[in-house]
């Protein structure tokens, strides 16, 4: 059954933190920190307001992506047929257990993306940068269409690259640009390393999901090229 907001508020909060896969925001926070540190080491200046806005935007984007992924993997049947669920793969299972409603999860995803867009608009008004606009649009569309139709990037063998970009090159260079106004080679090495690490983490966690993914035609790289 769906948990009522009026019942046991602390439990409700914990439930939704699980639904949002909140601990995984570290994958988005870290590249913003790296890009900002690289910028400070280069320029010696630091805009705290832009840093906080960037952190807020990337956290909301991460949560929106996680929630949308939960909803659309429920819709495709992927999380229903997965028998190898773990803290790192297979979804949270909360929708399947009846603890959260699909509609509430989708609304929460839209809200998270709306907050991402709002923070992005504020950043855009401050910086007036086409680069930031492009980066923000790629982030929101990439996060939503990772599992949403019609693109369903995660079902077509390109989702791994998209998430590696959204948790690596994108936020590192975005944070660096916000502090310096430049796009150069200074943060390239750490950005590439973080992207590769994220890519490999996603790849490793696809192995337990291989059977369930194949059953719903979710063509991850492990399904396409794995044993």
What is the Cα–Cα distance from 129 to 175, expressed in whole angstroms?
Answer: 13
Q: Which domain holds residue 66?
A: 9-225
Could you give the residue ranges of the DSSP H alpha helices within the chain? Answer: 9-19, 26-43, 48-76, 78-81, 102-127, 130-144, 159-166, 169-180, 188-206, 210-215, 221-225
Structure tokens at 82: 């997965």
Within a domain: residue 1? no
Domain assignment of residue 2, yes or no? no
Q: Taken in order 129, 67, 23, 224, is the CA torsion positive or negative?
A: negative
Residue 155 lies in a domain: yes
Cβ within 8 Å of residue 11, ≥6 positions away: 3
- Counting Cβ atoms within 10 Å, is residue 189 exposed (0-12), middle (13-18) or buried (19+)? exposed
Residue 3 has a pLDDT of: 43
The number of domains in the chain is 1
**Residue 148 within any structural domain of the chain:** yes
- Does 84 reside within a domain? yes
* pLDDT score at 5: 44
pLDDT for res 7: 56
Handedness of CA 178, 68, 211, 223 (dihedral sign): negative
Cα–Cα separations (whole angstroms), residue 174 to 27, 54, 62, 200: 15, 8, 15, 22
- Residue 175 confidence (pLDDT): 98
Residue 3 lies in a domain: no
Dist CA 69 CA 153 (whole Å): 11
Predicted pLDDT of residue 149 = 94
Q: How far apart are CA 154 and CA 186, in angstroms?
A: 31
Question: What is the DSSP-derived secondary structure letter of residue 46?
Answer: -
Per-residue pLDDT of the chain (227 residues), as tens digits, is: 444 444 567 789 999 999 999 999 999 999 999 999 999 999 999 999 999 999 999 999 999 999 999 999 999 999 999 988 888 888 899 999 999 999 999 999 999 999 999 999 999 999 999 999 999 999 999 999 999 999 999 999 999 999 999 999 999 999 999 999 999 999 999 999 999 999 999 999 999 999 999 999 999 999 999 77
Does pTM surpass 0.85?
yes
Among positive and negative, which fits the CA dihedral 67, 71, 74, 78? negative
Within a domain: residue 220?
yes
Question: Which residue, 174, 196, 136, is CA-closest to 36?
Answer: 174
Nearest to 65 by CA among 157, 167, 199, 150: 167
Give the separation between CA 55 and CA 140, rounded to whole angstroms: 15
Residue 143 domain-assigned (yes or no): yes
């Amino acid at each position: 059954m769906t948990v009522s907001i009026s019942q046991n508020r602390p439990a409700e909060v914990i439930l939704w933190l699980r639904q949002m896969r909140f601990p995984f925001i570290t994958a988005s926070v870290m590249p913003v920190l790296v890009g900002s540190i690289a910028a400070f080491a280069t320029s010696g200046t630091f805009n705290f307001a832009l840093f906080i806005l960037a952190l807020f935007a990337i956290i909301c984007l991460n949560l929106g992506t996680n929630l949308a992924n939960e909803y659309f993997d429920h819709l495709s049947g992927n999380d229903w047929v997965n028998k190898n669920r773990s803290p790192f793969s297979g979804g949270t299972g909360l929708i399947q257990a009846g603890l959260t409603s699909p509609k509430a999860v989708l609304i929460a995803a839209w809200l998270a993306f709306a907050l991402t867009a709002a923070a992005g608009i504020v950043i855009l008004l401050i910086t007036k940068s086409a680069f930031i606009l492009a980066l923000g649009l790629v982030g929101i569309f990439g996060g939503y269409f990772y599992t949403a139709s019609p693109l369903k990037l995660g079902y077509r063998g390109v989702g791994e690259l998209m998430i590696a970009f959204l948790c690596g090159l994108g936020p590192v260079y975005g944070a660096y640009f916000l502090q310096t106004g430049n796009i150069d080679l200074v943060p390239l090495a750490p950005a590439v390393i973080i992207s590769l690490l994220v890519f490999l983490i996603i790849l490793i966690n696809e192995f337990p999901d291989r059977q369930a993914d194949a059953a719903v035609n979710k063509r991850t790289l492990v399904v396409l090229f794995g044993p």
